[in-house]
Chains A and B, each alone.
Chain A
Amino acid sequence: MSLQFSAESTSKLAALRQRYPTAQPVVLAALHLAQKEHGDLRDEVLRLVAATLELPYAHVFGVATFYTMFRLKPGGVNTLRVCTNISCMLRGGYAVLRAFERELGLKPGQSNADFTLVEEECIAVCANAPAVVCGTEYFLDVTPERVPNIVASLKAKPHPEGEVV
């Protein structure tokens, strides 16, 4: 079977292609779109991106494995990025991460159907630390006590990263 991009994504990629002198710069956007449509960047998805942009598969694989937002294996609907870098750590970021681990039964890097839990590096929300980001939704000044509510709210109204491509 051969995978395809949707008509919408195909026209998006064609429009983006006009913004650059060659097709190669479109690869990050194409990978974002492919991950949105196919859930992850398993081998056949990488081959779809390579074929669409007429790039070597090895190049696409190299790019997909360099950037942390791309995943080669399935993940949850929401990607919870919990910052533990210095500004967040100083105000209890690790306690917040532990609370998410307990609430979700996941370790950082693991997924269930609803969530992928990520221990994130600084997400530029330092003045409201500890901070968590899920798609377009920021959670500010988070305490471990708020974690069950955050999880419940995202289960009810998910914020998948694919919303934005």
Chain B
Amino acid sequence: MPADGHAQAKLVTRNFGNEKAKEIISYESTGGYRAARAALARAPEDIVAEVKTSNLRGRGGAGFPTGIKWGFIPKDAQNVHLVCNADESEPGTCKDRELMYWDPHLLIEGMIIAAHALKAVHNYIYIRGEMMREYLVLERAVREAYQKGYLGARAMGTAIRCEITVHRGAGAYICGEETALLNSLEGKRGWPRLKPPFPAVKGLFGEPTIVNNVETLMNVPFITEKGGKWFADLGVGRSGGTRIVCVSGHVNRPGVYELPMTVTFNQLIDDVCGGMWKERRVKGVIPGGSSMPPLDASELDVPVEFDALMTDERIKPVETAPGVKFDMGGGKQLRTMAGSGGIVVFDDQTDVVELCWRIMKFYAHESCGQCTPCREGTGWLEKINRRVAQGHGVPGDLELMSSIAVGIAGNTICPLGEAAAWPMLGFLTKFRPDFEAKLMRAQYGQVHADAATAIAAAAEKAERTTEGHA
């Protein structure tokens, strides 16, 4: 495993690189299942309150406070289910696969505690179909936990029943969306459901269900053992705990790192990841999986924390046209989001138009086809972006892509629509000169295009200089 420049207490990644930790004997020898044993002796409401205090936020992408989500289960609910979303497939994200491989019992322990808090009996881990090595590890760990009596009719020797079933997917990005995941778990096509009703009211098999990400659940034992306040204090503001980031792309040491929430992108690149490869300069960063709007090189002094990425004014808002801010509804601006922690760094020689095309290709491929704006729109975005990337764009293509993206966002059953629209608008906002240079080349040939690129670069440099003096 790669070195870590920002040393600090490791929670969920502490067993990375330790092949033995995935065996229950080894896991228990370092205090494993102690937190679950203690938690099962506490009242469920007490654990929900502890998790609320901890400021734990969902690590799957939305960053929603976990304790508040748990609180949505109706008071008199019967047959509650806890489902672990292990369908990691957001491009640039590679943490849950590693977490399950290195520390499967930590996930099981987190689920035992969470299930008790929710009074959930029949619980499931929905693991991505392609993760076959991790499935074997997880299956074995669950079997061990049953053999020890930690799972089953009398979990950990108490009167509490806790069942966990590992359920394999079969290849569909959309099943990472929680309601599509529930349909897939029910043995259907992975089509997202209309909300409301939300899963907490009507989820798996029509019963109240909480869906939590792998990393989210793995943090729970630390919270119940050391206290919600302790966990909240590890973080900043309304974001408790540490942050796992998966850094990929053009850095010298890509990797999965567990870091303080306060680390900035520049520190991450320079101190943690050993700088940019080939001694090049950074051109931009995708901060939270491919569905999040990118940051340009001037926006990288912002920390990787959830709220900072949404509100820090050093990040320019996403626009639908130069000078026209994208409205998320109610006049709310979109900067970017921490998403899944998948951080993709690209250097100054990257063809960002092509990079954006690859993202559009992905969403066009993965659209489930239920909603017209997404099914048709993602296909159009891919086609138009491809022709611009290949130098066959026509005047008006950028405006067309922007209007299609605006037509998708907010008009679909599930967030896959936004997942395509946001990066499209984000790339057009932050790297518009790159797109314009491609159009210029299509219209006037290479010589003029080179001139245009040089002018754009000079303008960008001038802008940076001005900002430096501001």
Q: Which of B96, B169, B358 contacts A124 (CB 8 A)?
A: B96
In Å, the complex CA distance between A125 and B255 comes to: 9
Q: Is B452 an interface residue (CB 8 A)?
A: no
Q: Once the chains are docked, how many angstroms separate the CA of A126 from the CA of B190?
A: 25
* Closest chain A residue, CB of each to CB of B96: A124
Quote the shortest CB–CB distance from B187 to chain A (angstroms): 4
- Indicate if the CB atoms of A135 and B170 lie closer than 8 Å: no
Bound-complex Cα distance A86 to B342 (A): 11
**Residues A129 and B248 in contact, CB atoms below 8 Å apart:** yes
**In the complex, per-residue mask of B230-257: 1 if CB is within 8 Å of any chain A CB, else 0:** 0000000000000000111110001110
A interface, CB within 8 angstroms of B: 19-22, 24-29, 31-32, 55, 59, 62-63, 66-70, 81, 84-87, 89-91, 120-129, 133, 135-138, 161, 163-165
Given contacts A32-B168, A136-B132, contact A127 B247 (CB under 8 A): yes
What sequence of 0s and 1s flags, for each residue 126-139 of chain B, a beta carbon within 8 Å of any chain A beta carbon?
Answer: 00111111011000
Quick check: B286 and A68 within 8 Å, CB to CB?
no
B185 touches A25 (CB 8 A): yes
Chain B 445-468, CB-CB to A under 8 Å as 1, else 0, gives: 000000000000000000000000
Size category, B interface: 35 or more
List chain A residues, Cβ under 8 A from B170: 28, 31-32, 67-70
- Separation in Å of the B91 CB from the closest CB of chain A? 4
The answer to whether A68 touches B171 (Cβ under 8 A) is yes
Q: Which residues of A contact B358 (CB under 8 A)?
A: 84-86, 89
In the bound complex, do residue B187 and residue A27 qualify as a contact, i.e. CB atoms below 8 Å apart? yes
- Give the distance in Å from the alpha carbon of A129 to the alpha carbon of B205 in the complex: 39
Given A67-B171, A81-B130, A122-B93, 18 additional A-B pairs, CB 8 A: A24-B187, A28-B168, A28-B170, A28-B184, A31-B170, A85-B358, A85-B362, A90-B250, A91-B248, A121-B91, A122-B362, A124-B94, A124-B128, A126-B91, A126-B248, A126-B344, A127-B248, A136-B136
Question: By the criterion CB–CB under 8 Å, are A26 and B365 in contact?
Answer: no
The smallest beta-carbon distance between A124 and chain B, in angstroms, is: 4
Give the shortest distance, in Å, between B333 (CB) and chain A (any CB). Answer: 25
